[in-house]
A and B are shown apart, each in its own frame.
Chain A
Amino acid sequence: MSPTVFAPWNNPEEKPLIRFENVTKKFGEFVAIDDLSLDIYAQEFFALLGPSGCGKTTMMRMLAGFETPTTGRIELAGQDIAQVPPNKRAVNMMFQSYALFPHLSIWDNIAFGLRRDKMPKDAIEARVAEMLKLTRLEKFARRKPHQISGGQRQRVALARSLAKAPKLLLLDEPLGALDKKLRQDTQFELMDIQESTGTTFVIVTHDQEEAMTVASRVAVMDEGRIIQVATPAEIYEAPNSVYVADFIGDVNIIEARTKAVGAEQYHLDWADGQAPLTATSALPFSEGQQAHLAIRPEKIRITTERPEDAPNALQGKVLDIAYLGNLSTYHVELPGGQVIKAQTANTRRIARRDITWEDPVWISWSATAGVLLAQ
């Protein structure tokens, strides 16, 4: 049996669960969402990623029904939902503050939505028990929200929003209040739950690591527009703009003018009196066009001798070393004053510290290591 890759966005036959069609949302004069179109498919774990104020929360609140678009259409399973009030939507939301009802026990919090549906009593009991089991909260059913820890509260909020088995679950910065270790554990828990329930998740986050970990696709947003929608790997390895490259992870940007030298091969003039750099790009660049070469620090090799085989090699001196335990990042200053970051994995416990501050070093990378970006 060959595992099929989950990629409904590549299938033109697939109908999206959510469709934003030229949606604009204005608050007075302020444009929060600017003519945005986006498809999200069933069973996706979709991440909206961007700095605060980029409009990601507004998009989520429009899906939940707390805001209506100024112009444009939002469809859920083919139906325009603009006029449907929040309490009539098959969409549930997990709030950033968790919004647990402080006067109700954990059990009653989870049962709240089921009771509104006038579900029979024994069915409610069975469903709440199932949710408590899923989120490992059985012991806390009778407690009040302020009698449990932050991580447990987060799980109650998740259980409560999943209890009604919504078509779509919205998660607004769900892990923001947790410390780093707990956050990482919870990310995997979220992914397990998403997989086992088959619910479509849309998560809003400003934490790029979180988006990369959990999501099947990531939309990087800025100022009410979507800059790029792609899988985490594509976003990281093939960003479509300097903004995306810079927002996700660490990156070196070298500005240069392009000169075509072969099929998808370019020479880059990046500084006066320096040999041109070599890079490949599937996208065409015209002669002398201003471009940006984006290279991730871990794709740059740092050596004391000039490597013989490298198509791109520059000499500089070590300005700073950031030792992170598993990794070391070297800040290398080029003669022109530009600083390039190079990263190496500390795979040996007793490190050979042959490179130290002020040392002259060579940094090098292959022709395919960087991405050539027009903007």
Chain B
Amino acid sequence: MQKWNMIVDVEKCMNCHNCFLATKDEYVGNDFPGYSAPQPLHGHKWLHLVQHQRGQAPMVESHSMPVMCNQCANAPCIKAARNGAVYERPDGIVVIDPVKAKGQKQIVQSCPYGAIDWNDELQLPQKWCFDAHLLDDGWTRTRAEQACPTGALRSIRVEDAEMRAIADRDGLEGLRLELGTRPRVHYRNLHLMRAVFIGGTVVTHVDGIEDCLAGVTARLSKDGALVAETTSDTFGEFKFDRLERGSGAHELELDAGGGRRSRHSVDIADSRYLGVFAL
């Protein structure tokens, strides 16, 4: 049986919140019996964005990504629910039954992703149901995707084996896979939220004038082994990304050729702009 999956590309997300707003528009004040009770006007985050900023001026980055119910294939909420109040549909979508789940606050706590909100007025755990009511009505994609201007969100309905192949091919990652929840929301370019970078600026001085130095080879090594190599750009800037947070002492070598080179010890903790290096 083919299952619904969502693929999120972090690099394409620009934090515009169209997905967030479209999803709110769909559920606030609307009752879809069998799928979901109305979402309160404020406070719930069935699908929302998290932002992560890296570095310091002038090398600053800001990334964001939508997070939502992961429609886990091994969903903790299903286990935590009584009376079968949470169930997985044949197409993989996990639904909280808005009648049976009444009063079951433990369902909220069961989600390791914090994707389930508690509706105090209705005494109901609530979350995003992958717009199942729309898909069942003939829609081909979710409201969040429809509203996304960059294609950062893409739902596909495939067999699990095919999804695994796509994930392997495209380097997709899930959130907190160590829990064994087997999420059906997959992320591309997740390193932008998780990994760290270091970067700097190479300059040179000629007749008292400082200029950016382009084309300088920058090598990053750890314990003598080369980790990565790059080249400075027009602005003399070089950057190493996808480094592990807190990976410790590294050595940076800047080589402009002709024997013009320098070596520096770098401790990699968080993302960091290392400053200006004169060659």
Chains A and B bind each other:
no
B residues within 8 Å of A by Cβ? none
Residues of A within 8 A of B (CB): none
